[in-house]
Structure 1
Amino acid sequence: MAHPLPPMQTVSTGLVVAIVGFFSSFPIVLQGLSAMGASPVQAASGLMSAAIAMGLAAIALSLFYKLPISVAWSTPGAALLAVSAAPAQGYSAAIGAFLCAGALTVLAGLWKPLGRLAAAIPTSLAQAMLAGVLLPLCLVPFKAAVEIPWQALPVILTWFIAGRFNRLFAVPAAVVAAAIIVSLNANGAQLLPDRMITTPIWTAPSFSVASAIGIGVPLFIVTMATQNIPGVAVMRSFGFNPVAGRLFSSVGAASMLSAPFGAPATCLAAITAAMCSNEDSHPDPAQRYWSAVMAGVFYCLFGVFAVAITSFAAHADPLLMGTLAGVALIGVLASAIHAALDVPTEREAAILTLAITASGITVFGLGAAVWGLLAGGIAYLVTHRMR
């Protein structure tokens, strides 16, 4: 029988999950929104709405199903936005693309053929596309180490040293180091805003075929392949049995509701799902859902004060923020490359996907991720048909 109140162990686990989930990737979300043309105020709204959307979704789903359903924003999706060209129609078209990605996720949960199609994309190609998206971002810390060494090197060293003790807290430790550096370089400037509560900013979406195909579809694919599908697999590996389609539709609906306020994509978590689902969450598996619930509560609190984070980030050198985003993604890049090259017969198609995606090309208004996946898919089909 469930406790009427969450056990204290799950409260502490939820706090750790929220700290890791939020502070390990918010620089990537901010970079992605800025690349799409968001103003600082719109970026603050996007960060807030993304945090609150995943917080409320985690609370509602975990309480309803009594399962540790950890929800996140799509870090790979935000990284994709960060290396994509802004739509010609501006930020409103990006909002339209976010809505398209959310709608596709809802449809994938409700209509099994689309869900099977998303799951049928070879893992090697999906991970290669992700690796191609991440590679340019992961190079930034080392460029920054040359251009702004006194700012970038302390962040890189803090991340590396902290990671030797606990990988989960490596990026939050780097965020603390960056905050200290920004404070020391402020020269008396006011780092925090007068108003600490974030104001939601509604942006009316606009739609175009180019932004839907060039941003919305890749955002859907990378989120499904690297977040939603693995998130379900993680829960099942710990003995839980979620209904995947219902969860996909739920997080897709959360994406659509939060998209006009700037949230790129809400999805199932993978890494933090393991934190909520394992025995460290609570000895009794029936109580572990409280960890995901409490993580959702803390995500909402972080989102309310997102404007303070974006105001602080606005005073940082762009290369310093790029350094934070880069070190946060190095581990993900390593995993993506390993998964992309794991099957020898698929390596050529995977490398083709990775290289084209990393090139950053735009042809006919479609970004490199689309062309990389298309070229890799053709190579994959030809190779397997010949075999």
Structure 2
Amino acid sequence: MIAGLKLSHVITGGIAVLVGYTSSVAIIFQAIDLLGATQAQANSWMLALGLGMGISGLILSLLYRMPILTAWSTPGAALLVISLDGVAMDEAIGAFLLCGALLTLTGLTGWFGKLSNLIPEPIANAMLAGILFSFGLGVFSSMEDNLPLTALMCLTYLMGKRWFPRYNIPTVLLAGILFCWTSGAFHSQETIEFSIAQPEFIMPSFSLPVLISIGVPLFIVTMTSQNMPGVVALKSAGYVPPTSASMTVTGLITLLFAPFGGYTFNLAAITAAICAGPEADEDPQTRYKAAIMAGIFYCIVGLLGATIISLFLIAPKALVITIAGLALLNTIGNSLSSALTQPDNREAALVTFMTTVSGISFLGIGAPFWALLFGAATSIALSNDEKPGKLVTEKS
């Protein structure tokens, strides 16, 4: 038993895992299907991804006492969906290994940590707010899908903020589950398979065209669209993340699990924001225990493979979207407030925020990277001549 473990740690860690899986597991299934994987190989992929996220998150959270969560690369999965058609499974594994090697090299050289320190705090907070903004909007769009469920969860949230803030989010989740149970909103037509996933090793092969067209782009989108927001999420919560160590750990874990389907691992942003928020614990020094619980849950989900995935799929979409949005409201509000506090950087922060929310993508690179680029360019263009070094010396 973890010393000082609270119910809020367990619930918050569970919510993070719920959000992490349901937000993009369908994309993973598409990538697996494109490779023509057998059922055993598909189960091995889910085992590798669950254990990879769980083990890497546990290592970093326990070692640095911070709520450091890791995740599979969702943009990377989307890249695989559009790139894997006609690619052999063993060649894809070779590309995954290249991505893991590049991630490890990035961590060992330490250049990513130095680069992340150059981002001004308002721009970093604006990017985080933009990343999480769609989750907040999801609460209201869910009203069209299931108004009674969403309304009940929102009402419970408001009551909880007033009378029992410490257990607010767990109570909202419980209210949503009870409503779905009593109203029959769970998808009963989904079949639940009870089995333990088994690892299946796939011998990699290396094809230069596949390495260039999949391995290198997978590394780029993981760094720009996942690791950068992950660093920002922790910094915005008041932590100083060990960026180089995080890159090294996730890179090595990718190398270890790639032959079994763990295509890449990186710092999490959205789920990390859930565990790094006040709902996890009032004391920032002990919020890492929520990340530890998330790591344990990830390992369990990976081991149970198809069983847990089918359980996730029976939950109504409105339940998952609403609980994620409500759990992130505090973080969204704090990030927006911090982003707009400094008048000198307000325009740059707005440009960063709006670019992130737009969801644009150029050259296969997602909006968070371009948001940082456009925000930094705006900050430089509008900076006072007598303070030319402000952008490069200010640290978040």
**Under a length normalisation based on structure 2, what TM-score does the superposition of the two structures give?**
0.68
Q: CA deviation at 1:369?
A: 2.5
**Structure 1: which 5+ residue stretches go unaligned?**
1-7, 235-242, 282-287
Q: Which moved more, 1:291-300 or 1:51-60?
A: 291-300
Q: CA deviation at 1:139?
A: 0.8
Amino acid at match of 1:179: I
Residue in structure 2 matched with residue 88 of structure 1 by the alignment = 82
2:325 partner SS: helix
2:69 partner SS: strand
Residue in structure 2 matched with residue 185 of structure 1 by the alignment = 184
Q: CA deviation at 1:348?
A: 0.4
- Residue by residue over 1:143-190, the C-alpha shift from the partner in whole angstroms, topping out at 9 and shown as x without a partner, is 221342123222333344344455564444333334334433258926
Q: Is residue 72 from structure 1 mapped to residue 64 from structure 2 by the alignment?
A: no
Question: In 1, distance between residues paired with 2:216 and 2:349?
Answer: 27
Residue in structure 2 matched with residue 137 of structure 1 by the alignment = 135
1:13 partner SS: coil
Question: In 1, distance between residues paired with 2:81 and 2:142?
Answer: 27
Residue in structure 1 matched with residue 23 of structure 2 by the alignment = 31
- The percent identity for this pair of structures is 27
Q: CA deviation at 1:126?
A: 2.2
Q: Is residue 17 from structure 1 mapped to residue 16 from structure 2 by the alignment?
A: no
Question: In 2, distance between residues paired with 1:179 and 1:44?
Answer: 27
1:154 partner SS: helix
Q: Which moved more, 1:288-297 or 1:223-232?
A: 288-297
Instruction: Give the 3 Å change call, closer, same or farther, for CA 135–246 of structure 1 in structure 2.
Output: closer
**Structure 2: which 5+ residue stretches go unaligned?**
34-38, 205-209, 388-396
Q: CA deviation at 1:50?
A: 5.2
Question: In 2, distance between residues paired with 1:163 and 1:315?
Answer: 29
Residue in structure 2 matched with residue 176 of structure 1 by the alignment = 174
Residue in structure 2 matched with residue 357 of structure 1 by the alignment = 356
Question: In 2, distance between residues paired with 1:121 and 1:295?
Answer: 28
Question: In 2, distance between residues paired with 1:100 and 1:385?
Answer: 44
Question: In 1, distance between residues paired with 2:234 and 2:99?
Answer: 14
Question: In 1, distance between residues paired with 2:334 and 2:224?
Answer: 23
Number of positions where the alignment pairs a residue of Structure 1 with one of Structure 2: 360
Residue in structure 2 matched with residue 227 of structure 1 by the alignment = 234
- Residue by residue over 1:109-131, the C-alpha shift from the partner in whole angstroms, topping out at 9 and shown as x without a partner, is 42233321122122222221222
Instruction: Give the 3 Å change call, closer, same or farther, for CA 199–169 of structure 1 in structure 2.
Output: farther
- Residue by residue over 1:223-261, the C-alpha shift from the partner in whole angstroms, topping out at 9 and shown as x without a partner, is 122237968538xxxxxxxx7644552244335545643
Amino acid at match of 1:254: I
Instruction: Give the 3 Å change call, closer, same or farther, for CA 192–331 of structure 1 in structure 2.
Output: farther
Instruction: Give the 3 Å change call, closer, same or farther, for CA 114–140 of structure 1 in structure 2.
Output: closer
> What is the root-mean-square deviation in Å for CA atoms of aligned residues?
4.8
Instruction: Give the 3 Å change call, closer, same or farther, for CA 170–190 of structure 1 in structure 2.
Output: farther
Residue in structure 1 matched with residue 369 of structure 2 by the alignment = 370
Residue in structure 2 matched with residue 4 of structure 1 by the alignment = none
Q: CA deviation at 1:214?
A: 4.5
Residue in structure 1 matched with residue 156 of structure 2 by the alignment = 158
Q: Is residue 218 from structure 1 mapped to residue 252 from structure 2 by the alignment?
A: no
Question: In 2, distance between residues paired with 1:385 and 1:95?
Answer: 50
Amino acid at match of 2:262: F
Question: In 2, distance between residues paired with 1:15 and 1:299?
Answer: 18
